Amino acid sequence: MAETVLVTGGTGYIAGEIIDLLLRSGKTVHTTVRNRSKSEPRLRDRWRDAGEALRVFEADLENDSGWAEAMEDCDAVAHVASPFPLKTPKHPDELVKPARAGALRALECAKKAGVTRFVLTSSAAAIAYGHPPGRDHFTEEDWTVLENPDVPPYHRSKTVAEKASREWVAQNAPDMAFCSINPVAVLGPVHDDDLSTSIELVRKLLTGEIPALPDAGFGIVDVRDVALAHVRALDAPPEAVRGERFAVSDRFLWMRDIAEVLRERVPDLARKVPERRLPSFVVRMLAPFMADIRQVKTELGRHRDVSGDHAREVLGIDYITAVDSIEATARSLVEKGIVDPR
């Protein structure tokens, strides 16, 4: 079992939850951030009692500086950092290049440092996109179809990075216990106002910034289960995880279902949550002019159910329900003063 783990991207939503679990189970955690002087005080504030059990290093996915130091004395790596912007970039390379180069850099440095366990945070974005219409059930056997030009840049970046990582491991470190965790959209309690893109959706529903509900949806998994899957994959016998992909997902919900859950579970916070539907012909009409709407266009009417069964069976993940997770997201956004429900 790993005693010292590097978690990359310590400022991130998922990485924070992983660090939390690792520290609570007595591990020493190294983490990388892009700007140490800005981010270390925030991390120290969250884990006030961690002391020397938490070490913060400065490293960027796009250059070599700091990676060797961050890996020193580590037995295992959870590579979580990857660009996950709210806005779609002009060119896919803005995401694809750092995602791919960062994963390969982390793998190369891990091998040099003698790390034998590597858990990559990939995504359902590397599984369920670009497939012909009519397919609505996906498993770890499936790969996003990069040849389809409609696959958005972020989904492309996760697919390219995971494929490149697997090829690199097969050629350069076949004995490494490498696996990926592939979450669907991650919701759950937040700890500060630096919100992950997935949380923004619930925030915008609560504030009324999404005024009407398009006919789109996505799989949902709780951040606490995503972190647990990483930690279990770090601790499992190497033969149980080597080469595996673990999709983590509770269930798929349409946006109208999510809005309904908010109205039922947190009625006092849900006054601005829309009831109106946004007709698909309006989405198609507005898509060329509005970037936010454009992102939804390819999702209209698409049911993408990514099975979380393999992680349930091998890693023992007993999923927090999507409904509980939506409620926890909304309550924490209000508790942290990020959303004013009045």
* The one among 61, 128, 179, 247 contacting ligand NAP by CB under 6 A: 61
Helix and strand numbers, DSSP H then E, in the chain? 13, 14
- Whole-angstrom CA distances from 54 to 18, 209, 232, 262 are 12, 38, 20, 36
Token pair in block for residue 236: 């499992």
The reply to whether 248 sits near ligand NAP by the rule CB under 6 A is no
The reply to whether 152 sits near ligand NAP by the rule CB under 6 A is no
Question: Would you say 38 or 284 has its CB closer to ligand NAP?
Answer: 38
Token pair in block for residue 286: 């507005």
* The one among 36, 47, 60, 314 contacting ligand NAP by CB under 6 A: 60
Please give the biggest Cα pair distance in the chain. Answer: 57
Question: Would you say 4 or 123 has its CB closer to ligand NAP?
Answer: 123
* CB-based contact 119:181 (threshold 8 Å): yes
Place of tokens 């390969």: 104
Token pair in block for residue 308: 């979380």
- State the alpha helices, DSSP H only, in 47-92: 67-71
Q: With contacts defined by CB under 6 A, name the span among 5-13, 144-152, 205-213, 313-321 that binds ligand NAP.
A: 5-13
Q: With contacts defined by CB under 6 A, name the span among 7-15, 108-116, 283-291, 332-340 that binds ligand NAP.
A: 7-15
Residues 183-242 that bind ligand NAP (CB under 6 A): 183, 185-186, 196, 198
Residues 31-50 that bind ligand NAP (CB under 6 A): 34
The reply to whether 252 sits near ligand NAP by the rule CB under 6 A is no
The reply to whether 62 sits near ligand NAP by the rule CB under 6 A is yes
Closest CA to 165 of 118, 127, 209, 114: 118
* CB-based contact 214:300 (threshold 8 Å): yes
Question: Would you say 4 or 82 has its CB closer to ligand NAP?
Answer: 82
The reply to whether 11 sits near ligand NAP by the rule CB under 6 A is yes
The reply to whether 12 sits near ligand NAP by the rule CB under 6 A is yes
Place of tokens 């990388």: 32
Point out which residues bind ligand NAP (CB under 6 A): 9, 11-15, 34, 60-62, 80-84, 98, 121, 123, 158, 183, 185-186, 196, 198
